[in-house]
Amino acid sequence: MIDNDVFKALADPTRRTIFEKLAAGSMNASALREGMDISQPAMSQHLSVLRNANLVREERKGRFVNYEVNPEGLAQIAGWLAKYRAYWPARIDALRALLKEMDQ
């Protein structure tokens, strides 16, 4: 099951922070570390997990590696969530509307 990687990847708060940073704008691994009190290998390992979960993708830029959000992972979560549409509370009707709109 592929969902597994996505949820596992997001189960770690540090990885969610990294993802959030990337969502605000792509950047390389060193830039990501700024203000995060995390070692270089740890960051590299986290990025590897996020990449495997299709939450993030990389692009070599010379000696840097630029990381950016990969919508694929988000789509997987949306897909999982959609299965339980029946239980979505009114409060997130906007989300449902958006999915429906895309479905047309």
Partner DNA sequence: AAGTCAGATAAGTGTATGCTTATATGTTCT
Partner DNA sequence: AGAACATATAAGCATACACTTATCTGACTT
- Among left, alpha and beta (phi > 0; psi -120 to 50; other), residue 54 is left
Alpha-carbon span 92 to 21, nearest angstrom: 24
The correct pick among 2, 3, 20, 42 for binding DNA (CB under 7 A) is 42
| 35 interacts with a copy of itself by CB under 8 A | no
The correct pick among 2, 36, 42, 82 for binding a copy of itself (CB under 8 A) is 82
Residue 57 interface partner, choices a copy of itself, DNA, none, CB cut-off 5-8 Å depending on type: none
Alpha-carbon span 50 to 44, nearest angstrom: 10
The correct pick among 65, 77, 81, 95 for binding DNA (CB under 7 A) is 65
Q: Which residues make up the interface to DNA (CB under 7 A)?
A: 8, 11-12, 14, 28-30, 38-49, 58, 60, 62-65
